[in-house]
Amino acid sequence: LAAGGRRYNNFHTTAMCSPTRASLLTGRNHHAVGMGMIADMCTGYPGYAGQVSTQAATLAEILRPAGYSTFAIGKWHLTRARDMTAAGPFEQWPLGRGFERYYGFLYSLVDQWHPELVADNHFIPTPDTPGYHLSEDLVDRTIDMIRDQQAGAPDKPFFAYLAFGACHSPHQAPRPYIDKYKGRFDAGWEVAREQWHARQIALGIIPPETQLSPFNTDIQPWASMSADEQRLCARHQEVFAGFLDHTDAQIGRLMAWLGERGMMDNTMIVLMSDNGASSEGKQFGDINLRRYIQMLEEPFEQKLAAIDELGSDKHWNNYPAGWAHAGNTPLKWFKMQTHGGGVRDPLIVHWPARIRQGGLVSGQFCHCADIAPTILEACGLEAPAVLNGIAQLPMDGTSFAYSFDTPDAAEQKHVQYFELMGNRGIWAYGWKAVTRHFEGADFENDRWELYHLATDFSESQ
C-alpha cells in the first residue's frame, strides 16, 4: 500500500481511541460530537457524553442513502458502557449509526484468542476453531460481507470500516510470528530509537534534518537493567513485532483478495492508527493488563516466570514504556498526550485510479477529522445540512484530496486544536504550542512549548 499509494508524515489524531474514531467517522472535532474522552468515561458534561451526537452524521449515515453498502468490522468503542447490554439500547451501536452489517467487539480492547463478539445487534460465542485469532476472523468476515454484496449487487459501491483490535494491548499473536523476531531487540530501546530514526530518514519518511528527540528520563536506561530485566523487556517487543507482522499479513490477505477480483484500482483504501504508542506498560510491561486497569502491582518474578508464554492465550500482556518510546521515534511522549508521540500517526492512502504517483510522501498537515471530508469529496458527495430531521453540525475537517494529484501542494488546512485529559495543544500555520497537564495541578502553571513543525519535525528545538 505504501509503495503504490501516498504516505502522509504530518497526520494527526486526538491521542486516544474513542475520540479519534468519533472524529474519523464524523469529520468533526471529538469534543463537538460528545467524545472528549473514551466512551467508557462519559460524565454527562458537554463534550463528554460518551456517544456520538446525532447532530454529527457518521460516514455510514451519509454514504448509505447515497447508494453505498455499509459494513463495520472490528473495534467500535463508541457506545457508553451502560448501553452495551444484550437488551440494548442499540441506537449507538454500529447498526444504529448507519452500518447495515457489523461483526466485531464493542469495547476498548479484546482478547485476540477468546474475544467477546457481536454480530449486528447480538452477542455471539467465540468461534470454537483450532488456532483461532481475531485479526484473521475480522478479515474473513470483511471478505464475506464484500463477497455477499458483490454477488447480489455488483455495481453497487461499498464502504467498509475495518478496525483491528491489533496492535492495542493485550499483545497476542501466533507463536511463529513472535519467534521470527527472536533476538532482534536484545540491544535495547536506545539503540532501536537510533536505528529506526536513521531508517526513517533513509526511507524519506521524515526530513533528513530531523533530530531524534531527547531520551525520556522517565525510562530506565537499558544498560542499567539486569540480564533478566533485559531478557523480559526484549521478549515483550518480540511479541509486539510479531503481533504487528501478523496484522500486516491479514491486511495483505484482504488486499490480495480484492486484487484477484480487479477491485484494487478503484477502491480507496485509508490505513491509519488512532493514537501514538502507549506507555501504560511502565518499566517492565504487564503480563495481565487487568491488573493495570485495577491499579494492582505485579511482582517482577511473576512477570519473568511468564516470559515463554507471552503472546499466548494465557496472558493479557503489554510491552514496557521504553518500547513505546522507541515506537514513537523520533517524537516525544506517548498516547494520551498532545505532543507528537501522542497525536502524530501513520497514514497511507491507496487509490491507483486517482493517486497515480505511488510511493511518495506528502507533508501537508492533516487530522483525523479531515478523513471524512476527503472521502466525501472522493465520492462526489456533500455533508447534509439536515439528516433524519436533525440539523447537522458543520464539519470541522478539511479535505486533503487536493494532495492526491500534487503531493507537495500548499496546505489548505490552517488551524487545529488538541485536548485530552488536560493536555492541550494548538497548531496554526505551521506553528504548534503544546503543554502537558498533571492531574491536580493548576492549569495556569502548565508550561507551554512552541515549535515550528516545518523546521522541527520532532518538536525537539
CATH number, domain at 81? 3.40.720.10
331 occurs within a structural domain: yes
Report yes or no on whether pTM surpasses 0.85: yes
Contact of 247 with 167, CB cutoff 8 Å: yes
Q: How many CB atoms within 10 Å of residue 307?
A: 16
In a domain, 423, yes or no: no
Amino acid at 449: E
- Who contacts 218 (Cβ-Cβ below 8 Å, separation ≥6)? 321
Q: Is residue 390 in some structural domain?
A: yes
Residue-level pLDDT at 303? 97
Residues 6+ apart with CB under 8 A from 117: 103, 104, 105, 123, 124, 125, 126
CA–CA separation, 66 and 379 (whole Å): 10
- Structural domain tally of the chain? 1
Q: What is the pLDDT along the chain (461 residues), one digit of tens a residue?
A: 999 999 999 999 999 999 999 999 999 999 999 999 999 988 889 899 999 999 999 999 999 999 999 999 999 999 999 999 999 999 999 999 999 999 999 999 999 999 999 999 999 999 999 999 999 999 999 999 999 999 999 999 999 999 999 999 999 999 999 999 999 999 999 999 999 999 999 999 999 999 999 999 999 999 999 999 999 999 999 999 999 999 999 999 999 999 999 999 999 999 999 999 999 999 999 999 888 888 888 999 999 999 999 999 999 999 999 999 999 999 999 999 999 999 999 999 999 999 999 999 999 999 999 999 999 999 999 999 999 999 999 999 999 999 999 999 999 999 999 999 999 999 999 999 999 999 999 999 999 999 999 999 999 99
Residues 21-79: pLDDT tens digits? 999 999 999 999 999 999 998 888 989 999 999 999 999 999 999 999 999 999 999 99
Quick check: is 81 in a domain?
yes
C-alpha separations of 330 from 20, 106, 345 in Å: 22, 33, 12
pLDDT digits (tens, 9 = 90+) for 89-129: 999 999 999 999 999 999 999 999 999 999 999 999 999 99
6-8 and 101-105 as β-strands: parallel, antiparallel, unpaired? unpaired
pLDDT at 149: 97
pLDDT on residue 292: 81
The confidence score (pLDDT) of residue 296 equals 85
- Residue 126, Ramachandran bin (φ over 0: left; ψ between -120 and 50: alpha; else beta): beta
The residue type found at 197 is: H
Order of strands, sheet of 269-272, starting from the edge strand that comes earlier in the sequence: 269-272, 347-350, 6-8, 360-362
Cβ proximity of 264 and 352 under 8 Å: yes
* Residue 441 counted as domain residue: no
End-to-end Cα spacing for the chain: 33
Whether 95 maps to a domain, the answer reads yes
For the chain, what is the HEC assignment? CCCCCEEECCEECCCCHHHHHHHHHHCCCCCCCCECCCHHHCCCCCCECCCCCCCCCCHHHHHCCCCCEEEEEEECCCCCHHHCCCCCCCCCCHHHHCCCEEEEECCCCCCCCCCCEEECCEEECCCCCCCCCHHHHHHHHHHHHHHHHHHHCCCCCEEEEEECCCCCCCCCCCHHHHHCCCCCCCCCHHHHHHHHHHHHHHHCCCCCCCCCCCCCCCCCCHHHCCHHHHHHHHHHHHHHHHHHHHHHHHHHHHHHHHHHCCCCCCCCEEEECCCCCCCCCCCCCECEHHHHHCCCCCCHHHHHHCHHHCCCCCCECECCHHHHHHHCCCCCCCCCCCCHHHHECCEEEECCCCCCCCCEEECCCEEHHHHHHHHHHHHCCCCCCEECCEECCCCCCCCCCHHHHCCCCCCCCCEEEEEECCEEEEEECCEEEEECCCCCCCHHHCCEEEEECCCCCCCCC
In a domain, 145, yes or no: yes
Parent domain of 226: 6-413
CA separation for the pair 396, 9 (Å, rounded): 21
On whether the CB atoms of residues 416 and 365 are closer than 8 A, the answer is: yes
The C-alpha cell of 276 is what? 501514538
Question: Which residue, among 378, 382, 381, 402, has the nearest Cα to 394 in the 3D structure?
Answer: 382
- As a residue count, the chain comes to 461
Say if 287 falls within a structural domain.
yes
- pLDDT score at 12: 99
Q: Which residues contact 301 (CB under 8 A, 6 or more apart)?
A: none
